[in-house]
Amino acid sequence: MEEVYAFGANPLDRASERRGDAAWVAALLDHPDSRIALLSELKPRVRPGSPAPVIDWQPVAPWRDHIAAGATCVLLGLVDGRARFALDATAVPLGADGAELGDMRALAGIMEAGAAAILGEARAIIDWHARHRFCAACGTSTTVHSAGWSRRCPSCKAQHFPRTDPVVIMLPVRGERCLLGRNARRAGARFSCLAGFVEPGETLEAAVRREVLEESGLRVGRVTYVASQPWPFPSSLMCGFIAEAISDDLKIDHAELATARWFSRAEVLAMAARSAAGEDAPDTLAPPIAIGHHLARRWASGEF
Amino acid sequence: MEEVYAFGANPLDRASERRGDAAWVAALLDHPDSRIALLSELKPRVRPGSPAPVIDWQPVAPWRDHIAAGATCVLLGLVDGRARFALDATAVPLGADGAELGDMRALAGIMEAGAAAILGEARAIIDWHARHRFCAACGTSTTVHSAGWSRRCPSCKAQHFPRTDPVVIMLPVRGERCLLGRNARRAGARFSCLAGFVEPGETLEAAVRREVLEESGLRVGRVTYVASQPWPFPSSLMCGFIAEAISDDLKIDHAELATARWFSRAEVLAMAARSAAGEDAPDTLAPPIAIGHHLARRWASGEF
């Protein structure tokens, strides 16, 4: 089976074909075995646990009034037939019951992988609702359908679905060296792969070649898919590739990359080890929650 | 280099890093070497050509009033430094100059590959503008920026980018047989791969396994990426996979698939040949413009 990275190990049965059955969804909300995860301003409520925090799963009943008042509520999926929902509880202050708000990236590095993936799904879809309350076609306020998986316009009847933005992320390689860069737009960014959004009318492979050329000046020949990762900041789907450069001369776009240079396999392995040990310095590799870390590490290990 | 399918061979330099330079874009619109492709109700204007129709590229000047009046105009990219734009000319009746409106799918099967890809890009982004005139965050009418590659909200300042929806399309295989189905929702659908939209919180591989299980009842183990294809109906990015089934019993979801059954490699090759020869019958394979055709053909040829 393929390697799976942070936010990718979602254990839920999405039951997508049943979401449109409003009576079924209502029965799940009433069921005593159903549980709900809460997010406030997109931060998940978690409880201390060992070795890491756990999702603060709540019974649904105490939250029924908030749901009825219009707080975004989404059916994330089922575990052994028992429903798991997510609720936007931004309007509700934390109680004194020991729950706390966690940072999603920090949690993804320490929580059980399935729990982190569930919270990533919850974050992506709650954020989509928050930013898509109106019909993009006509401007009318839309209503939630399909247990939180669509919005419909009462005026023009348009149906809107959660958005997922494909991003290519790639390691340019040339013989025994690979190119890593530091993002110019993120303070404290470490060395990682290049990346960019796929545009209408592009294949994934064409997007890889365009982004590498734009950011580094390198021409890319063969492009090899490695793995994908959902990245809920806010709604990316990272598609990871190895990109074989067929030219050498770097022409760095400093609007995109603060710096970029070639690394040997040994250098990458050393940086990956420091990063995996928790070191956070500008001259080390992106953290292990990021697929870019693994593309570089796997290439450096001789996998490609 | 990888195989490239219909809409995938886009030859344009998108010059994406310069789109935000309004003076540069205005100069391109004024330049006598610039050309503009016209779409009416998303159908491209083409001219008869041999062996196939060609894009009816127009000088920009006669269309300046339409652009000034607010018709959607997008910088598709550059060819040898010369700009290629697309214009939504739905409001303008066809003249008597020999141009005609073409069907995008039919054209993609016969036109030069690069031209079809350019028209696919034009269709996807013009359609995106038509369906996203208002801010999804606050309902205000938005304005076009970056040569047609973003819209901005004058009220809440939200920035909106063209949407590209990742779709997984996969051929389930089990030993020497593969599963093909006929879509229940499209009249006249032929046998093809299974497919479905990737959801927030999913890897591509998880989406493959979920869709195959939902539609066919088969459990999937190893998933192998093959190729991708932009599919501008309206804004899909098809991500093609081979999906190794680890169970045998079919449980077809007839809301999705009118029928589905196992095929031998020889059967698939025979169907692919009939389809490539232009035969359009329910018991043949999806046409060669579709990546599903090639996933099945390549597996049947022993490539995987």
For residues A198 and B10, the answer to whether their CB atoms sit within 8 Å is: no
Q: Would the pLDDT of A2 be above 90?
A: yes
How many C-beta atoms lie closer than 10 Å to residue A212's C-beta?
A: 25
The contacts of residue B171 (CB under 8 Å, 6+ apart) are: B178, B179, B180, B193, B194, B241, B242, B243, B292, B295, B296, B299
- Residue B200 burial (C-beta neighbours within 10 Å; 0-12, 13-18, 19+): buried
Q: Would the pLDDT of A96 be above 90?
A: no
Q: Would the pLDDT of A249 be above 90?
A: yes
Which of B133, B199, B220, B291 best tests the A interface by mutation, with the highest count of A CBs <10 A?
A: B199
Convert the pLDDT of each residue in B33-55 to its tens digit: 999 999 999 999 999 999 999 99
Q: What is the sign of the dihedral through the CA atoms of B8, B11, B17 and B22?
A: negative
Convert the pLDDT of each residue in B231-243 to its tens digit: 999 999 999 999 9
- A143-145 and B43-47 as β-strands: parallel, antiparallel, unpaired? unpaired
Which among A110, A134, A124 has a CA at the least distance from the CA of A39? A124
Q: Which residues of B touch A212 (CB under 8 A)?
A: none
pLDDT above 90 coverage of chain B, percent? 95
Q: Would the pLDDT of B99 be above 90?
A: yes
Torsion of CA A116, A117, A118, A121, to 10 degrees: 120
- Geometric angle at alpha carbon B190, from B186 and B193, rounded to 5°: 95
* Inter-chain CB proximity A222 and B1 less than 8 Å: yes
CA distance A41 to A39: 6
Q: What is the mean pLDDT of residues A47-60?
A: 96
In this complex, which of A117, A121, A202 lies closest to B10 when CB atoms are compared?
A202
Give me the pLDDT at residue B56, please: 97
CA distance A208 to A172: 9
pLDDT above 70 coverage of chain B, percent? 100
CA distance A268 to A242: 15
Q: Tokens standing for B17?
A: 């890093």
Give me the pLDDT at residue B94, please: 83
Which of A164, A212, A213, A256 best tests the B interface by mutation, with the highest count of B CBs <10 A?
A: A164
Amino acid (1-letter code) at residue B37: A
CA distance B143 to B150: 8
Convert the pLDDT of each residue in B52-72 to its tens digit: 999 999 999 999 999 999 999
In this complex, which of B2, B166, B206 lies closest to A223 when CB atoms are compared?
B2
* Inter-chain CB proximity B203 and A4 less than 8 Å: yes
Q: Which residues of A touch B135 (CB under 8 A)?
A: 134, 136, 139
Q: For B13, which residue in chain A has the nearest alpha carbon?
A: A210
In this complex, which of B131, B149, B197 lies closest to A136 when CB atoms are compared?
B131
Convert the pLDDT of each residue in B180-223 to its tens digit: 999 999 888 999 999 999 999 999 999 999 999 999 999 999 99
* Inter-chain CB proximity A228 and B210 less than 8 Å: no
CA distance A73 to A40: 13
- Residue B287 burial (C-beta neighbours within 10 Å; 0-12, 13-18, 19+): buried
Q: Would the pLDDT of A150 be above 90?
A: yes
Q: Which residues of A touch B118 (CB under 8 A)?
A: 201
Q: Would the pLDDT of A94 be above 90?
A: no
Convert the pLDDT of each residue in A211-247 to its tens digit: 999 999 999 999 999 999 999 999 999 999 999 999 9
Min mean pLDDT across A239-248, B20-29, B95-104, B110-119 is at B95-104
Residues in chain B: 304
In a 13 Å sphere around the CA of A72, the CA atoms on its Cβ side amount to: 26
Q: What is the sign of the dihedral through the CA atoms of B208, B210, B212 and B215?
A: negative
Q: Tokens standing for A203?
A: 């294949």
Task: Render the burial of A159-180: b for 16+ CB within 10 Å, e for the rest.
Answer: ebbbbbbbbbbbbbbbeebbbb
The contacts of residue A236 (CB under 8 Å, 6+ apart) are: A164, A165, A166, A167, A230
In the A/B pair of chains, how many CB contacts fall below 8 A? 169
Per-residue pLDDT band for A95 (boundaries 50, 70, 90) equals confident
Convert the pLDDT of each residue in A151-179 to its tens digit: 999 999 999 999 999 999 999 999 999 99
Convert the pLDDT of each residue in A265-297 to its tens digit: 999 999 999 999 999 998 999 999 999 999 999
Element at A5 (helix H, strand E): none
CA distance A275 to A190: 10
Q: What is the mean pLDDT of chain A?
A: 96
Give me the pLDDT at residue A1, please: 87
Q: Would the pLDDT of A139 be above 90?
A: yes
Q: Which residues of A touch B237 (CB under 8 A)?
A: 166, 198, 202-204
DSSP structural state of residue B286: P
Give me the pLDDT at residue B97, please: 86
The contacts of residue B196 (CB under 8 Å, 6+ apart) are: B167, B168, B207, B210, B211, B214, B215
Which among B136, B159, B12 has a CA at the least distance from the CA of B83? B12
Q: Would the pLDDT of A97 be above 90?
A: no
Q: What is the DSSP string of B144-201?
A: EEGGGTEEE-TTT--EE----EEEEEEEEEETTEEEEEEESSSTT--EE-EEEE--TT
Q: What is the mean pLDDT of residues A62-88?
A: 97
Amino acid (1-letter code) at residue A202: E
Q: For A150, which residue in chain B has the nearest alpha carbon?
A: B199
Give me the pLDDT at residue A93, please: 86
* Inter-chain CB proximity B135 and A132 less than 8 Å: no
Give me the pLDDT at residue A20, please: 96
Q: What is the DSSP string of A157-184?
A: --EE----EEEEEEEEEETTEEEEEEES
Give me the pLDDT at residue B222, please: 98
Residue with token string 């035969």: B279
pLDDT above 70 coverage of chain A, percent? 100
Q: Tokens standing for A238?
A: 């990272």
In this complex, which of A4, A164, A229 lies closest to B166 when CB atoms are compared?
A164
Q: For B161, which residue in chain A has the nearest alpha carbon?
A: A199
* Inter-chain CB proximity A210 and B253 less than 8 Å: no
* Inter-chain CB proximity B133 and A137 less than 8 Å: yes
Which of B237, B244, B251 best tests the A interface by mutation, with the highest count of A CBs <10 A?
A: B237
Q: What is the mean pLDDT of chain B?
A: 96
CA distance B185 to B171: 19
Give me the pLDDT at residue B191, please: 97
Give me the pLDDT at residue B91, please: 87
